[in-house]
Structure 1
Amino acid sequence: MDQLNSARREAANNAFSSAFARNEAGPSHLSQEARQSPPPSWNVARRYAIIVDAGSSGSRMQVYSWKNPLVDRAEREQKGEKIKVLPTVEKGTWEGSGLDWQLKVEPGLSTFGSHPQDVHSYLEPLFDHAKQIIPPELMADTPVYILATAGMRLLPDDQQNAVLQNTCSFISDKTPFNLGIGGCQKHVQVIKGEEEGLLGWIAINYLMDGFHFKPSIDGTEGKSTFGFLDMGGASTQIAFEPSVPAQIANPDTQDDLTPVALRMLDGTDVVHNVFVTTFLGFGTNKARDRYLNSLVPSSSLTTTPVTDPCLPKGLELKLPQDHTATAAISPSLVGSGSFDQCLKSLAPLLDKEAECSRPPCLFHGVHVPPIDFSVNHFIGVSEYWFSSNDVFKLGGVYDFVSFQKAAQAFCGSSWDTLSSQLKDGTVFGKQVTADRLEMQCFKSAWMATVLHEGIGIPRITDPGGEGEGRVHADEAQGKADEKNLFQSVNDVGGLAVSWTLGKAVLEASKNIPPLPANGPNSAPVHGEPEVQQVGGTWQDNFSPAYHRPSEALLSGRNAQLPALGMFLTGLIAFLAVMLCCVLRGRSAKAVKRRAMLRDFLRSPCSKRQSSHGDYTLADMEE
């Protein structure tokens, strides 16, 4: 309460304190004219976090910011605004700053597995850029997270460790930023695909108002958050919250779900039960490798050109070097430009015939709870957006008919025509490169294969395009607008859709104090399952705790809970035996002791008290 009162006083004096909230900026590559001071409303009580997505093709540094949640809450209360909302997480730069809030370097961090000593020079541009954004006086309090994904997961353990150690030493020795209490173990790590998917699910629902609190809506009516689909170079993820009716119809589903508690500014915890899984090896690059292995087995290499339906017509490419490393010959691929044939060639790569040890499975024998597409609508990012929008300009609400026609026309175009259009800049935007054009036919076919054959999102027409032209296209658009089964996005309101935003949302919520037990709104949201209380308190000062159904990723303190439970069980048993010894017998003294004990217990126990207590936020740091 003292903290909140202090925050209210701080909010009331914003106009006076803002002039002193930031010291003169340090060295910058920008001119003084370009580097303007932030507006007072932006500057006061500002917090920052640096999050690096170390992916398979490159590392992207993003600076996020938000107001101190206590100050944010106090200001909202003064204005009469809702406080049952998540903290407002923004880009780390303000309008007119002249700075980009993010920067990407290539190649991926995983490419340094054989020479980890070069990591320092690789990361330096990212953090030089971050120093231009974050005020010098706040750098020491700004946490850094470097979280590596699929590319690093594929490295041997010794190479992984060497890269992470060199990354950690760079942050510790060469930057002024903060690695927190957990140090490198929590702030510099390879995260699992499930964590990446869950963070992405948080991010997309945060941006698309999927977490908008509506107490008037009955959870049993089927209201659900958005499902999340992400596809990179090495893996693809799916995360979604099964509808309440689906959970009721399939009780076993509860064992598959990860409880995620998100804390609102008012201290309320809104709980969501989320399924998340990753398909390692099913990203576009790894799928392409497996496709080439099926198209041109290494045992049958020949000098004769091999026809590839997944390349534009007439495009000729050499097989990648790693595919022919042990062979004396290197055949070439020649595109035949058939999108429909490409789809047929890619379908077996889903491995849908794999044994499903626990039905139902989507593909590759991976169990996924039933998806109710009348409730669960999905949003795709990364390759789902690039394959839809960069060349086809079909990002947004997905219409299979339009997508299929665009892909058929593109794949069937001659490479000479496409390369000429790329050079003159009249057809394709600046984001389109020669590499994108070469792989667009394959990537668009792989996206459609995963979306429809893998996940099972319904097509409006059949895969061969045997529809009724404009009639089917109109029907598709109408159904998409009504149901919105799938759409691809890249940014919302200028903020890029990335799982890193999910991490920033959790970071911004860490220090919001919980509602007191039995306080107003302390119970979970209507229609949401409760979350098992762990230890009665928020762990690590409300640091997010992550656990999945099959494997608990517990903090060190959590890992001791089983031992603590055994100790407490033994202690209770011992006390019970002693109590029996003291109270047993029919003597006057024994009767008196029992009467005294009843009198002692009657007052506090005469009126039952109940409380949902505190909840544990899903920990993404472990």
Structure 2
Amino acid sequence: MGSKAKAIASLLAATCVCSVIALILSVVNVKDVLLPPSTKYGLVFDAGSTHTSLYIYRWPADKENGTGIVSQVEACSVSGPGISSYADEPAGAGASLKPCLDKAMKIVPAEQQRETPTYLGATAGMRLLRRMWAGRGETGSTWKVPLGLVRPKVPEGREGGREGAWVSAPAAQPNPGRVWGQFSFAEQWEHPQDTEVLGALDLGGASTQITFQPGVPVQDRNTSVFFRLYGTNYSLYSHSYLCYGQSQALKMLLAALHQASSSAQISHPCYPRGYRENLTVAELYDSPCVRAPSSASPGLVLTVTGTGEPGACGTAIQSLFNFSCGAERPCGFNGVYQPPVRGQFFAFAGFYYTFHFLNLTRQQSLSEVNTTVQSFCRRNWTELVQSFPQDLKHLHTYCSMAIYILTLLLDGYKFNEHTWSNIHFSKQAANTDIGWTLGFMLNFTNMIPAEALQHVKGHQPGLWAGAVSFLVLAILAGLVAVFLQCFWKTK
């Protein structure tokens, strides 16, 4: 056989081999392959007493020592009041949540939406949650949300998300923007063994919570919480005080002033001089945290007049607490056991918002904080309205809440001038909101099995397909080389 004939034969052989390989690739089913772990998503609605927010989280399917490395993708604030206001119209609650759910559906991949865990969490004070959720069938169909695990959850007692808020607090690290609790949201996971974790101070609308890692064994098991995070066990002290959140504390204060006045005219030392408002007895006593006098007429109109007296305001707020502990064991207030506060603390939610308004979130000394609060409380209503026209809704309450926070932290939780500097007033760390929802989602990842590989359908390149492609290219390269060698030998 001549050189040209050999070259032609080699070319035909190459064509034949390529045809056979193409036939093999067309027969082999490359639709089902094993892929690396995918990203998981979770949604948590924080349904507070005054407003609702949706937090969208994600984490790799592979976990670190049993816990997912969860990070916040998005936070969406729901328009309107808290969902408890929709008690008589459950469908209205669904309509209010829909815009945030629509935003979530744009973030969570369509193929994962049906299996994405979604929780609606509310405080123990929201007794109407189950009644509202009874309309979920109708509301859910209105939303048209393809979520498979939508569950209402009412955190209550030891399950109330208090340790979740603790988890969300960043650890005292040289790089606090990266490390949270005992984990990192950055490219690598960290576990600072020799570093004490931060405590958490939360102030909601209906309740306030304190959680920290004490230096002594917790003597009361009702305040003892055990938490496992990234393979490490933690023993924490934690307690939630119902009715001592912002809105309920203000209501208790006003009710106490009303009952002390024994008339429809109420002088309020915490409200600015010149401020005046009217409300009925029924509006004042529409909460289980306050009890109306038997002689009070629900329709009676009360007139509240601010007097701007910070000293008298502090005395009135002190009357809301019982600070006596007795000789047996240390306590916070109202006889609730509490070991001495220890370590660094993050104060968020209502603590942060009030102090942020007063520009007191830069680690100012206790003396400077007191001076600022006293000065603000002495300003009259006309002056405040001119200085803060954008904050009219809550402007008259900032003095009350500032003095209330100082009373709660110093007299209630037993911080002092030496430990005050351990409190960090903050809303976020590492672009993630501090609160119970992140800890709740982390705890959720503790309860689901790790997935080393995920079975995914679709035309996806797998290891086997890559190996076949490499083999095809190698064969083709060899045949082309043989053909060219034969062809040039005929020249």
Pairwise same-fold verdict (TM > 0.5): yes
| Contact kept in structure 1, 2:201 and 2:345, CA below 8 Å | yes
Shift of 1:299: 8.1
| Structure with the larger RCO, 1 or 2 (CA within 8 Å, 6+ apart) | 2
Deviation of the 1:511 alpha carbon: 4.1
1:313-392 aligned within 5 A? 313-319=273-279, 322-323=283-284, 326=297, 329-353=300-324, 359-368=329-338, 370-373=339-342, 376-389=343-356, 391-392=357-358
Q: Distance in 1 between the 2:297 and 2:91 partners?
A: 29
**Change in 2 beyond 3 A, CA 1:339/1:456:** same
Match of 1:437 among 383, 395, 399: 395
**Of the candidates 267, 272, 286, which is equivalent to residue 312 of structure 1?**
272
Give 1:450's match in structure 2, choosing from 408, 422, 426. Answer: 408
- Cross-structure match for 2:438: 501
Q: Give a deviation string over 1:72-118, Cα, whole Å, max 9, x none.
A: xxxxxxxxxxx67964322325xxxxxxx423232111122233343
Distance 1:238 1:447 in 2: 13
* Residue-by-residue CA offset, 1:350-385 (whole Å, 9 max, x unaligned): 1235x87974321122222x1243xx3221111110
| 8 Å contact kept, 1:52–1:59 | yes
Partner of 1:567: none
Deviation at 1:280, TM superposition (A): 0.5
Rounded Cα–Cα distance in structure 1 between residues aligned with 2:280 and 2:417: 34
Q: SS of the counterpart of 1:144?
A: strand
Computing the radius of gyration from Cα coordinates, the structure with the larger value is: 2
Show the counterpart of 1:21. Answer: none
Residue 88 of structure 2: SS of its match in structure 1? Answer: coil
Asked whether the equivalents of residues 193 and 237 of structure 1 are also in contact (C-alpha less than 8 Å), the reply is no
* Counterpart position of 2:50: 57
- Give per-residue Cα distances to partners, 1:186-234, cap 9 Å, x unaligned: x2122115422111111114775332666773xxxxx632111111111
Q: State how far apart, in whole Å, the 1-side matches of 2:422 and 2:409 are.
A: 11
Native 8 Å contact 2:162 2:238 kept in 1: yes
Deviations 1:433-483, CA, capped at 9 Å, x for gaps: 2122111001111111100010000036xxxxxxxxxxxxxxxxxx86xxx
Correspondence for 1:92: 73
1:202 is matched with 167
Distance 1:328 1:87 in 2: 54
Q: Superposition pairs for residues 144-543 of structure 1, below 5 Å?
A: 144-152=118-126, 155=127, 159-167=128-136, 170-171=139-140, 174-180=143-149, 187-192=151-156, 194=158, 195-205=160-170, 209-211=180-182, 217=194, 224-243=196-215, 246-247=216-217, 252=219, 256-263=223-230, 269-297=231-259, 300-303=262-265, 306-319=266-279, 322-323=283-284, 326=297, 329-353=300-324, 359-368=329-338, 370-373=339-342, 376-389=343-356, 391-397=357-363, 399-423=365-389, 433-459=391-417, 484-511=421-448, 513=450
Which residue of structure 2 aligns with residue 31 of structure 1?
none
More strand by share: 2
Query: Cα offset for 1:409?
Result: 1.4
Secondary structure, aligned partner of 1:282:
coil
Contact 2:66 2:446 in 1 (8 A): no
The one-letter amino acid paired with 1:378 is F
Structure 2 residue corresponding to 1:136, chosen from 73, 88, 110 = 110
State which drifts further: 48-57 or 313-322: 313-322
CA distance in 2: counterparts of 1:323 and 1:253, whole angstroms: 35
The offset of 1:318, in angstroms, is 2.1
User: Mapping of 1:41-80 within 5 angstroms?
Assistant: 45-69=38-62
The alpha-carbon distance between structure 1 residues 160 and 85, as it changes in their structure 2 partners (threshold 3 A), is closer
> What is the DSSP-based 3-state SS (H/G/I as helix, E as strand, rest coil) of the residue aligned with 2:57?
strand
Identity of aligned pairs, percent?
22
Q: Distance in 2 between matches of 1:399 and 1:193?
A: 34
Q: Is the 8 A contact 1:110 1:151 kept in 2?
A: no
Residues 331 and 119 of structure 1: CA distance in aligned 2, closer, same or farther (over 3 Å): closer
Residues 115, 148 of structure 2: 8 Å contact kept: no
Amino acid at match of 1:236: T
Separation of aligned partners in 2, 1:232 and 1:190: 15
Q: Name the CA distance, whole Å, in 2 between partners of 1:120 and 1:104.
A: 11
In the aligned structure 2, how far is the partner of 1:328 from the partner of 1:214? 59
Q: Which amino acid aligns with 2:375?
A: A
Between the aligned partners of 1:388 and 1:88, the Cα distance in structure 2 is: 31
How many residues were matched structurally?
Answer: 395
1:491 positional shift: 0.6
Shift of 1:254: 6.5
* Distance across 1 between alignment mates of 2:164 and 2:327: 27
Go from structure 1 to structure 2 and tell me whether the alpha carbon gap of 1:208 and 1:320 turns closer, same or farther (over 3 Å shift).
Answer: farther
Amino acid at match of 2:309: S
CA distance in 2, matches of 1:163, 1:283: 23
Would the aligned equivalents of 1:378 and 1:486 in 2 still touch at CA under 8 Å?
A: yes
Q: Deviations over 1:32-85 (max 9, x none)?
A: xxxxxxxxxxxx822211110011011111111122225xxxxxxxxxxxx679
Q: Distance in 2 between matches of 1:371 and 1:225?
A: 16
- The change in CA–CA distance for 1:297 and 1:146 in structure 2 (over 3 A counts) is same
1:310-352 CA deviation, whole Å, 9 max, x = no partner?
0122222224551388256434222222223211210120123
Tell me how far apart the structure 2 counterparts of residues 141 and 126 of structure 1 sit (CA, whole Å).
18
Q: Quick check: 1:298–1:323 contact (8 Å CA) kept in 2?
A: no
Q: Per the alignment, do residues 178 and 226 of structure 1 end up closer, same or farther by CA in structure 2, a change over 3 Å counting?
A: same
Matched with 1:120 is 94
The answer as to whether partners of 1:105 and 1:126 remain within 8 angstroms in 2 is no
Report matched runs for 1:533-612 at 5 Å.
Answer: none
Contact 1:397-1:487 at 8 Å conserved across structures: yes
> 1:363/1:301 Cα in 2 relative to 1: closer, same or farther (>3 Å)?
same
Separation in 1, partners of 2:298, 2:222: 48
- 1:64–1:91 Cα contact (<8 Å) kept: yes
Cα deviation for residue 289 of structure 1 reads 1.3
Sort the Cα spacing of 1:160 and 1:505 in 2 relative to 1 into closer, same or farther, 3 A.
closer
Alignment-mate amino acid for residue 347 of structure 1: Q
Q: Please, what TM-score do these two structures have when normalized by structure 1?
A: 0.58
Distance verdict in 2 for CA 1:372–1:497, change over 3 Å: closer
Report the equivalent of 1:25: none
| Alpha-carbon distance in structure 2 between the residues aligned to 1:358 and 1:114 | 47
* Letter in structure 1 aligned against 2:161: E
TM-score, normalised by the number of residues in structure 2: 0.72
Counterpart residue identity of residue 306, structure 2: G
Structure 1's unaligned 5+ residue stretches are 1-8, 12-43, 71-82, 94-100, 218-222, 264-268, 424-431, 461-478, 515-622
